[in-house]
Amino acid sequence: MNMLLLSLILALGIYALLSRDLLHSVIALSAISMLSALLFTILRAPDVAITEAAVGAGVSTVIFVWAIRHTQRRDKEES
Amino acid sequence: MKKLELIKIVITVLLCALLVVPIILSNHSWPTQARDYLFDNARSDTGATNTVSAIYLGYRAMDTLGETLVLLVSVTGTMAILVKLGKEHSDEEATSFSLAPEKRPTNRLRTHLLETVASKLGPIVLLFGFYVMLYGHISPGGGFQGGVIVASAIVFLALGTEVKSKLTNTLVLSRIEALSFLVLILASISGVFFESGFFGNPIKSASSLSANFIILLNIIIGLKVGTSIAVMCIAMMGGSHDH
Amino acid sequence: MIIERILIALLFLSGFTAIVGMRNIIRKVFGLNLLNAAVVLLFILEGSRIGNQAPILDEGITTMVDPIPQALMLTAIVIGVCVTALSLALAVRLYRATGSLDIQVITERLQREH
């Protein structure tokens, strides 16, 4: 179970770095926070799970969406 | 030139892998003395049942003070850059998210569905945030977690237009933040005058509830973290015109 | 146990590659977030090896998980989000000053103005 969640987190991380549209990467980062919160609950750490869920899916996503809105949404060049 | 860049990046990543990967993959046995000591003594030393709260508010409260200071500095820096950006470029598209409904040029981004649902969910999430903040000493939760949930609730209230409350006024929120930081500093120094050392418990046997200092610290930290993150998010949405 | 550690090491290295190799500033901030997530996962995974119950002292628990890494990681998560907020504000300021998000184009344009 741990291995499945960790491999999903790794796949989403690599997708977030290679995607052309920056908004898709932000949603992938938010999904990484949610999967991490689930993994922390399985590993018996409820305080860290509540903090990661509230901070990663709430505040961090709002800040990223604000930054993308005031700059460009598409990546114009190659990596 | 492109090949040289690629070789430089590969060498850097290989050096980092050489230093870090043996540390991550090492398989020593984890020591258990700390867990045994806390299992026996955490409840009688601090009065809290939640062991993690007893550590970061009782035994290592200095780390919590430093973290609150880092949060204060970063939110102040972000607000300084934001206010300057808002003054230079006051284009209609960026601030139309927060204007009143009859003044907005288009309704495309902020629909009636979003406003109604957000204004109905706001008070429920605020109540849940205060519950998590106040019961941090016996169940998972505490000051930081409750504070971030309260900040999300204030953002919900700012997105809905059913009632115009004082909670979304940035002047009121920044006054609450400054006041709670001052009370935190006073609470940490007051232990010195009552012979318990810095960040000690000054009211050790004043009432029957033995975890009263931890509850007080949870409330103060939760209010500070919640209001400072809420001020930053409301300024990002463009609604800080009454500052 | 060893496979989970290899996956966490791969996550750490991909975050580091994003900081060093990508040219867009916002992708560098993505890499910083991934680095933070990898370190937090490693600490909580290692701390959960010595027990099998959550660290709340109710009646009748015998072997609880080590609570010290959890207390340290609470601080680490909050500091991570603070650094992300400040660096994204600086990135938006750079975009307003030079008109691009590519780090080499920004360096050239800032040097030309001096």
Domain ranges within chain A, ordered by starting residue: 2-69
Residue C62 has pLDDT above 90, yes or no: no
How much is the pTM? 0.89
pLDDT, mean of residues C72-97: 93
Decide if C89 touches B, using CB distance below 8 A: yes
Please report the ipTM that was assigned to this predicted complex. Answer: 0.91
Query: Comparing C-alpha atoms, which of B241, B220, B219, B205 is closest to residue B100?
Result: B241
Examine the pLDDT at B243 and tell me if it is beyond 50. no
Q: What is the mean pLDDT of residues B199-217?
A: 67
Contact A70 C95 (CB under 8 A): yes
**Residue A6 sits at the chain B interface (C-beta within 8 Å):** no
CB contact under 8 A, C54 and A44: yes
DSSP for chain B, written as a single string: -HHHHHHHHHHHHHHHHHHHHHHHT--PPPP-HHHHHHHHHHHHHH--SBHHHHIIIII-HHHHHHHHHHHHHHHHHHHHHHHHHHHH---HHHHTTTS-TTT-S--SSS-HHHHHHHHHHHHHHHHHHHHHHHTTTTSS--HHHHHHHHHHHHHHHHH--S---GGG-HHHHHHHHHHHHHHHHHHHHHHHHTTS-TT--S-TTSSS-TTHHHHHHHHHHHHHHHHHHHHHHHHHTT--TT-
pLDDT over threshold 60, residue B206: no
The mean per-residue pLDDT over the stretch C27-38 comes to: 94
Chain B interface disruption, residue of C4, C11, C59, C66, most B CBs within 10 A: C66
Q: Do B75 and C85 touch (CB under 8 A)?
A: yes
The CA distance from B60 to B72, in Å, is: 20
Task: Give DSSP secondary structure letters for C13-52.
Answer: HHHHHHHHH--BHHHHHHHHHHHHHHHHHHHHHHHTTS-S
Which residues in chain B are contacts of C13 at CB distance < 8 A?
A: 13, 16-17, 20-21
Q: Is the pLDDT of residue B129 over 60?
A: yes
Residue B101: what are its φ and ψ, rounded to 5°? -60, -35
Chain B residue closest in CA terms to A62: B233
Residue spans of the domains in chain C: they are: 2-113
For the ranges B7-16, B25-34, B220-229, the lowest mean pLDDT is seen at: B25-34
If you average pLDDT over residues C54-60, what whole number do you get? Answer: 84
Q: Does B20 contact C12 at a Cβ distance shorter than 8 Å?
A: yes
The whole-number average pLDDT for the span C44-61 is: 87
User: pLDDT tens digits, residue range A15-25?
Assistant: 999 999 999 99
Biggest CA-to-CA distance, chain C: 70
pLDDT band of B192, cuts 50, 70, 90: low
Task: List the domain boundaries for chain B.
Answer: 48-236
Report the pLDDT value the prediction gives residue B213, as an integer from 0 to 100. 82
Task: Identify whether the C-beta of residue C58 lies closer than 8 Å to the C-beta of residue B27.
Answer: no
Q: What CATH number has the domain spanning C2-113?
A: 1.10.287.3510
pLDDT digits (tens, 9 = 90+) for B75-110: 999 999 988 877 766 554 445 555 555 555 555 566
pLDDT at position B125 is 94
Q: pLDDT-derived band of residue C16, with 50, 70 and 90 as boundaries?
A: very high
- Closest Cα partner for B241 from B82, B119, B120? B82
In the numeric block, which tokens belong to residue B242? 């009454």
User: Which amino acid is it at B25?
Assistant: L
How far are the Cα atoms of B220, C46, C110 from residue B215, in angstroms, in the given order? 9, 30, 51
Set of chain B residues whose Cβ sits within 8 Å of the Cβ of C51: 35
